[in-house]
Amino acid sequence: MEITAYGFMPDHVHLLVEGTTESADACAFGHQAKQRSGFVFSRAFGARLWQPSYYDHILRENENALSVARYIFDNPVVAGLVESPRDYPFLGSERYSIDDILDAIAWQP
């Protein structure tokens, strides 16, 4: 799995992940990510980090990943945390720079 875009908000997280192999399993990825980060958080702070479940959506061929990236990167702006996604330190990607994503989002009609 590759994290194409992410945004950590004060009370939730948005991830756009892409399977990079035929055997990629987004459900297993989500479970492991929550389990590992939750364990570390629990040991450090003595509290639970995650709710038991999560919302997921698999993009179909007619859906555009850039639309999802736009939603993720606009989230802190809409929430009133910053004026520009560039000002929010908890956005990013494993594959692209934040400027690459913002340029692509701006170009998309």
pLDDT at 109 over 60: no
| Domain range 2-107, CATH class | alpha beta
pLDDT at 103 over 90: no
- Cβ atoms of 55 and 108 within 8 Å: the answer is no
H or E element at residue 8: strand 2-8
H or E element at residue 2: strand 2-8
**What is the pLDDT, as a whole number, of residue 9?**
94
Q: What one-letter code names the amino acid at 4?
A: T
Region 25-43: mean pLDDT is 91
pLDDT at 67 over 90: no
H or E element at residue 5: strand 2-8
Region 36-46: mean pLDDT is 94
**What is the pLDDT, as a whole number, of residue 63?**
81
Give me the residue spans of the domains in the chain.
Answer: 2-107
What is the per-residue pLDDT across 42-52, written as a single tens digit (0 to 9) for each?
999 999 988 88
pLDDT interval class at 91 (50, 70, 90)? very high
